[in-house]
Structures are given as structure tokens and as C-alpha cells.
Amino acid sequence: MSLFAKDKKIGEIAVKKAYVLLKRAGYSPRVPFQVEKDHDLILGDGRRVEVKFDVVMDSTRNLGVEWWSDKIARQPGWGQYCEADILMQFYNMDNAVVVDWPEFKRWIMENFEKFERKDSKYSNADVILVPMDQIPEFVKIHDIGNMFKLDYDLARWEIEAIRGRKYRIEPAKSNRAVCVFCGESISKGHLRVGNQGGWRHGRCAVSEGILSRDSLERLEGIDELNEWQTEHMQKIVD
């Protein structure tokens, strides 16, 4: 299955979930009689809802708005032609940003030059990146948005473990490594924690949330440390 087909399938699941929860909450959603390109559901009060699933929002914390579907041919993307009343953008299966689309679009236009842009991974599309923490409260639809919020309450190391990212602990082999957390060098022989994304001091790994008492035994290389090194790391995480 191609990435596009996979994302499309996930999008369909998001619409299904939105429909079920809106129905249970008494919003009386219905599916349009014919397929519409700018909305997926219609609420009982007539408001049109566009449901999207952005697979990178959860990690980048940016809401992507497709401005041009083909920036070379100047074909407008959904950010320009969508006339829905509500945008419901999932960033995982339990959480979504829900906004008044006309107000949100108006705010984007007023701040157009401030946003970073990126190319789509599928085509010549041009995507506006809107930081989720900068979306103003006045464009959010809280009564619906609160239905799509679940705090996972997971530590950083637990999230990394779910993603399959493993960290290793070892004595630094030279003085060349620089801690990606504090920016200072890691002295040769001092214990360091990291992976291909970079190394950090043991204390910095704790501060960053990727190392704790519960995750210490999960580190690759923990069994290779001597007794003093192991006790030292246990004191750090405690």
C-alpha cells in the first residue's frame, strides 16, 4: 500500500470516529448525499465539517494547511477552496484540533507571511505550517474540541519506546561528543546516553525525560557497565 493510500485509509477511519462521537454527543451528524471535496459531515444545525488526519502533526506540532495542490500549475489546495464551517484535524486517533474554519482561515491570511512553508511528500503541493500552540483560542470550537482530547500522560521514554527508538549508555570514547540537550562537551570516559540522534550527559537525559528509574534497565549497554558506573547512574535517576 502506498503512503498516499495508507493516509487516505487513516483519514476514512478519522471520519468514522468523528461521526460516532458527534452522534453520541447529540450533534446529529449525517453524511452528505454525494461526495463533497470540502466537507465530510453535516451537523444537525447545518454546519459542514471537514475532517482531516495529519500524520506528522503529532511529532512536529504543526497543523498543515495545503494552500496550493500544485504550486507550479497554481492549482488551489483545500486551504483556499474549502468552504466548510468546521475543520477537525486529527493528529492521532484520540486528539484533534477543532476550529471555526472561516475564522481560522481569516487569521491565517492576516498572518500569512509569518508561517513556514513546506513541500508535500506526494506532489507539488505547497503546505502552510501553523504551530499548534499559536492557534488563537477565539478560532477554536471548544464544545466539540473537548471531545477529541485525551492526555496520554506518558513519559518521554515511554513514547520513544512505543516508537521503537532505543537508547544506549556507554562511556564516551573521546572528548568530541557534544550533548544535544545542554550543548556542552561530554568528557572522555564519562557516561553518555543517546542514539543516532545524538548523545547527552546522563543528567541531561533525565532532564529531557528519556531516562528515569523505570527506563534505566531498558538502555542498551546497561549490562556492560561496571558496578561503580551502574551505581552512579542509579543515583542520577533517583
Residue range 176-188, pLDDT digits in tens = 889 988 889 999 9
Supply the pLDDT for residue 8: 63
- The mean per-residue pLDDT over the stretch 93-106 comes to 95
219 closest CA partner among 227, 234, 207:
234
Q: What is the pLDDT of residue 102?
A: 97
Mean pLDDT taken over the chain: 88
Q: If you search the block for the grid coordinates 499559536, which residue do you land on? A: 134
Note the pLDDT of residue 151: 76
pLDDT interval class at 135 (50, 70, 90): very high
Residues 53 and 65: beta-carbon distance below 8 Å: no
pTM score: 0.66
Residue 132 contacts residue 63 (beta carbons within 8 Å): yes
**C-alpha Rg value of the chain to the nearest Å:** 23
- Is it the case that residue 5 has pLDDT exceeding 50? no
Pairwise CA distance, residues 164 & 140, whole Å: 34
Quickly state the pLDDT bin for 63 (edges 50, 70, 90): very high
Q: Note the CATH number of domain 3-148.
A: 3.40.1350
123-to-39, 53, 61, 68, 218 alpha-carbon distances in Å: 22, 17, 22, 10, 40
Q: What is the CATH number of domain 156-237?
A: 3.30.1740.10
CA count, 13 A, side-chain hemisphere, 135:
24
Task: Determine the Cα–Cα distance for residues 230 and 66; give it in Å rounded to an integer.
Answer: 50
The pLDDT, as a whole number, for residue 48 is 97
Average of per-residue pLDDT across 212-235: 88
Task: Quickly count: other Cβ atoms within 10 Å of residue 202's Cβ.
Answer: 22
Rounded mean pLDDT, 189-200: 87
Q: Where are the domains of the chain?
A: 3-148, 156-237
